[in-house]
Chain A
Amino acid sequence: MFYKALDGVKVVEFGNLVTGPFCAKILADFGAEVIKIEEPCCGDVSRKEEPFYKDVPGIENSGLFQYVNMNKLGITLNPETATGKEIFVQLLKGADIFVENNPPKRMKELGLDYKFVKEINPRIVMTSITPFGQTGPYKDYKGGELVATHLGGVGYLSTREGDATKEPLKYPAHLFSFQAGLCAASATLGSLYRQKLTGEGMQLDVSEQESVIQNVNSAIARYSYMKQISRRTDVLDLAPHHILPCKDGYIYASFVEEHQWRRFVEVMGHPEWADNELFANAQIRSQYWDALKPLMLEWTMQYTVEDIYRRSQEKGIPLGAVRNAEQVLEDKQMKARDFFVDVERKGEGKLTFPGVPYRFSEIQREAPTAAPLLGQNNEEIYCGRLGYSKRDLTRLKEAGVI
């Protein structure tokens, strides 16, 4: 955990990849105990996702898995066996929260849908995160990062001032799957608060498509007011509002307020541009962007990312450094806030991971623990909590239950 805010809260997670496991990670980061259930054959699908430590694929080597599953306990369990199902039920009886991101059909087949779960534990909060939710015509459709991005309306808008001959563009990695997991965690915490007051449970039906929709704010506003369809190829009345190359990388430059532009032309050593009527405001600069761009590049190409970023920010200009991961890891602001954390991996030494973006004033921050190896906590949970003997453990293993 990072902060013990949810002391004593018990979570069972049964999921794969990002959405469900990231939702549970956030609860674990806040101090809830998360028992992650993985299927004995192969574990969470993300164990096979890049990047791999030192480029060696292996179920204990995925950077994605290890980040998303830190602070959790891990057990293996096959709910398709009768004994496995019985154990699953035992775990759910003792849980406050159940997080899962399986296809609705599969949960029904396993007899682990909300209808069943609330019978065995009426006070449980069950959070299901699926590509399209539990209801509606697409509920059994397959999803994933790419498909959700497009069916949620963000794909069509990506990227800004895009090239008409090129296809709409996905965002990097699993950004929107993570955002869906984050939304799910937020809803789950609200329901947990209510559970603590009323003792009542709830089902939360979280849709990745709907999570993507929250990002299309300006397009939906334009559509609502003017019935205009925003396109990635639209040239907007704002320049510069672009990523521009510089000596050793890229910067993001935008000057919505004119005083910012006037200060920036001074930083560039061209204060006279402030009076050039072709550059008089963002809208006019947009019309003459083809002429202005090379003039700006002449200056930016002489300076480094860091140099331009610092000099601009010192003058109160909201210019951004387009940082690569190495620079993010070295960022002095994030360092001052101890954002990155070193986590001990079993037998491998310490590895650096992103931490959490929040700081609590009344709760001491604690060191996080590494993601579980496949089945790492089997003995602790099965013998220590559920009363099985070590010999039972062997039998369960041979029977394909764990």
Chain B
Amino acid sequence: MNIAPLKGIRIVSLTWVWAGPWMGAMLADMGAEVIKVETRQRLDAQRVVKLTKDSVEDLNMGQFNFTNRGIKSCTINMKEPEGIETFKKLVAVCDAVITNFAPRVLPGWGLGYEELKKIKPDLIMVTLPAFGSIGPDKDYVSYASTIEAVGGLNISFGYPGEPPVLSGTYPADPVGGVYGAAAFMAALIYRNETGKGQLVDVAQSEGVTSLIPEVIMEQVMNGRTRPRMGNRDDIMAPHGCYPCKGEDKWVAIAVGTDEEWKAMCKVMGNPAWCKDEKFVDQYSRWKNQDELNRLVAEWTKNYGPYDVQNLMQKAGVAAGSSLDIGELVRDPHVVKRGAIFQQNHKVAGEINIYRSPWKSALTEKNRPAPLLGEDNDYVFKKLLGMSDSEIMRLTEKKVIY
């Protein structure tokens, strides 16, 4: 049967910014029907955030379109009692609720798990707060960088001997989203076997800590903080990012064995310094890596990043261009695999969408991110069976809003 894994599973998504929406998009890629409930009363910040000071402010032109593709949107204003009632009706016809709102928000609306369970006894609910829904700091507020700092990521992040740095890409959010998706599916399989739904609480900060065990175990095993090492490895050398021809062009090279070192020397035309005793084996190369890196850079700067990458890879050495976003979108391998593809969004036009990071025979075709309330008719009429006059009344009352 040619059916995507989560076909037939319907999920209500009360999410915003990045972690929660990305969880929904990933589940949609696997075939789930994900319905985002949002409101003009308080828009998803990513619908409106300006990308630069010159960019247009339009609620359909934000980063929203990249993390919410594949899903549906309906508008319900939870500040209205009838909004809460409408939401409950929707939950009754769904399998799960996912949310990354602060832990106090849903209980504040009377929509905590215990309440929702009364409507749908085998409901699965996944909450994705920064620090978890229990514990003394549960109401602490955060951005992704707050979570990364508190989770222990930044302390070991930086150039050797310099202060810690801030990430440029905020991985805490996508990491949280993927953990949420994994935990949801474990709960779904459990429900399938036992008939029981449940609440799954995922702390994003713990998600970050769980991906940097080297940092934690260095402390546990040896009582030390893992130092900031830049691009260096614990044992490999060369292991770095080297300048190339052109402005701000770089290539990464990682050499793990003597065989790879010899192959790299051959690619570089076997310069005399390659035979220097200082670089004779892995330990020597590691110990003398400052000098080694300078010499490698002298060679790489004569070539473009792709030239170095392809020459090295052909010789069996791990190397990769440091791609800027334009190069990434056009990278022949990325294009060939459809990892990033063009999608036509109703308002934004042609945009570059990245799919979930796997290929299978059964990935769902990707629908563009919804306009605000694009699926109101489907949700209120078809799913909830409301009449046109009822919908009009609720719209005028700013319940559907």
Contact = CB atoms under 8 A, between A and B. Distances in A.
A250 B154 contact: yes
B248 A164 contact: yes
B108 interface: no
Interface in A304-332: 309, 313, 316-329, 331-332
Contacts of B209: 328, 334, 339, 354, 357
A135 B358 CA distance: 11
21 contacts: A51-B221, A146-B241, A150-B322, A164-B248, A169-B158, A178-B210, A183-B357, A189-B186, A194-B6, A196-B189, A210-B355, A213-B334, A221-B63, A241-B145, A250-B154, A320-B142, A323-B149, A326-B225, A333-B138, A337-B132, A360-B199
Interface string B192-212: 110011111111111101111
Contact of B163 (A183, A210, A250, A362): A250
A353 B178 contact: no
Interface stretch (B167-175, B376-384, B390-398): B167-175
Contacts of A154: 168-169
Contacts of B4: 194
A176 to B, nearest CB: 8
B147 A320 contact: yes
Nearest to B182: A186
Contact of B190 (A5, A155, A319): A5
Given A50-B234, A190-B30, A217-B67, A202 B213 contact: no
A318 B150 contact: no
A323 B155 contact: yes
Contacts of B276: none
Interface string A26-51: 10001000000000000000000111
Contact of A159 (B165, B171, B334): B165
A333 B137 contact: yes
Contacts of A208: 357
A171 B187 CA distance: 32
Nearest to A221: B63
B214 interface: yes
A159 B136 contact: no
Contacts of A172: 153, 156-157, 212, 214-215, 226, 228-229
B160 to A, nearest CB: 11
Interface string B30-68: 110000000000000000000111110000011101110
Interface in B312-355: 313, 316-326, 328-329, 331-334, 336-337, 339-340, 348, 350-352, 354-355
Contact of A358 (B53, B183, B324, B336): B183
B168 A179 contact: no
Nearest to B133: A359
B164 interface: yes
- What are the nearest 9 A-B pairs in CB distance? A63-B217, A325-B219, A357-B206, A320-B146, A320-B149, A210-B357, A142-B318, A189-B185, A336-B135
Given A67-B217, A209-B334, A242-B166, A228 B153 contact: no
B215 A325 contact: yes
B165 A252 contact: no
A134 B359 CA distance: 9
A151 B337 CA distance: 14
A7 B190 CA distance: 8
B374 interface: no
A170 B254 CA distance: 12
A254 B252 CA distance: 31
A256 interface: yes
Given A51-B222, A204-B360, A354 B213 contact: yes
A267 interface: no
A186 B181 contact: yes
A136 B336 contact: yes
A168 B186 contact: no
Contacts of B131: 333
Nearest to B192: A196
A361 B325 contact: no
B320 A143 contact: yes
Interface residues of A, number: 155
B324 A231 contact: yes
Nearest to B22: A214
B137 A332 contact: yes
A243 B164 contact: yes
A158 interface: yes
B182 A182 contact: yes
A352 B166 CA distance: 28
A363 B326 CA distance: 46
Interface in A160-192: 160-162, 164, 166-176, 178-180, 182-187, 189-192
A252 B179 contact: no
A122 interface: no
Given A137-B333, A231-B324, A241-B166, A175 B63 contact: no
Given A51-B217, A166-B159, A225 B189 contact: no
Contact of B329 (A66, A146, A220): A220
B187 A360 contact: yes
B288 to A, nearest CB: 18
Highest count of chain A CB atoms <10 Å: which of B134, B165, B213:
B213
B304 interface: no
Nearest to B142: A318
Nearest to A222: B51
Given A182-B175, A186-B182, A159 B168 contact: yes
A237 interface: yes
A148 B320 contact: yes
A172 B153 CA distance: 7
A52 B186 CA distance: 33
Contacts of A151: 252, 320-321, 323, 331, 333
A207 interface: yes
Contact of B134 (A153, A325, A336): A336
A53 interface: yes
A231 B201 CA distance: 36
Contacts of A250: 149, 154-155, 163-164
B234 to A, nearest CB: 5
B157 to A, nearest CB: 5
B213 A133 contact: no
B280 interface: no
Contacts of A378: none
Contacts of B55: 222, 225-226
Highest count of chain B CB atoms <10 Å: which of A151, A161, A197:
A151
B153 A175 contact: yes
Contact of A179 (B175, B216, B228, B362): B175
Contacts of A302: none
Highest count of chain A CB atoms <10 Å: which of B178, B182, B190, B337:
B182
